[in-house]
């Protein structure tokens, strides 16, 4: 079994104590905010009747809107709380709600983009969904293998 304190200590040593990780988190969430906002604004050109009649388009609009808000919030949080390194480290390491919000802010743009692809072409949406599932399985397999080799 992995020792969570050991994992947390390694993560802390990888840049939390210098603030480098926090700076990169801020950059990453800013980029996601811009991308989600761009897609969200682009969806304003779609008539409201099309959005309400199309399940994938409705979910894409909702996902981009929520993701824009979450990523904006995280970006501002990392900018203004960058001096609170221990608090941010504890938030990432021990807070289940914080981790759920972070995972949601990272997953929603991907899910919304896939939903947008489903709106334009069901075939391409299925292919992208299949490729995404394979990539996630490969990543999970590699992470599991690393845990076995290190443990």
Domains: count for the chain: 2
Q: State how far the Cα of 107 lies from the Cα of 132, in Å rounded to an integer.
A: 12
| 90 pLDDT tier (thresholds 50, 70, 90) | confident
Residues 70 and 102 in one domain: yes
State residue 1's pLDDT score: 42
Copy the structure tokens of residue 79.
């900018």
Residues 20 and 80 in one domain: yes
Residues 105 and 130 in one domain: no
CB atoms within 10 A of CB 32: 21
Average pLDDT for residues 127-140, to the nearest whole number?
A: 90
Task: Say what the pTM is.
Answer: 0.77
State residue 136's pLDDT score: 87
User: Does the pLDDT value for residue 2 go beyond 90?
Assistant: no
Residues 43 and 114 in one domain: yes
User: Does the pLDDT value for residue 43 go beyond 70?
Assistant: yes
Residues 101 and 140 in one domain: no
Beta strands, E only, 51-140: none
**Residue carrying the six token digits 């001096």:** 83
Q: Which domain range does residue 129 map to?
A: 121-151
């Amino acid at each position: 079994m992995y020792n969570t304190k050991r994992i947390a200590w390694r993560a802390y040593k990888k840049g939390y104590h210098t603030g480098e990780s926090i700076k990169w988190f801020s950059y990453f969430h800013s980029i996601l905010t811009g991308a989600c906002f761009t897609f969200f604004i682009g969806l304003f050109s779609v008539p409201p009747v099309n959005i309400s009649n199309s399940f994938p388009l409705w979910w894409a609009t909702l996902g981009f809107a929520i993701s824009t808000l979450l990523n904006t919030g995280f970006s501002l949080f990392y900018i203004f709380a960058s001096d609170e390194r221990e608090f941010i480290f504890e938030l990432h390491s021990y807070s289940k709600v914080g981790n759920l919000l972070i995972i949601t802010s990272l997953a929603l743009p991907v899910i919304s983009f896939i939903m947008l692809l489903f709106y334009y072409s069901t075939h391409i949406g299925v292919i992208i969904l299949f490729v995404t599932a394979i990539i996630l399985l490969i990543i999970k397999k590699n992470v599991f293998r690393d845990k076995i080799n290190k443990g």
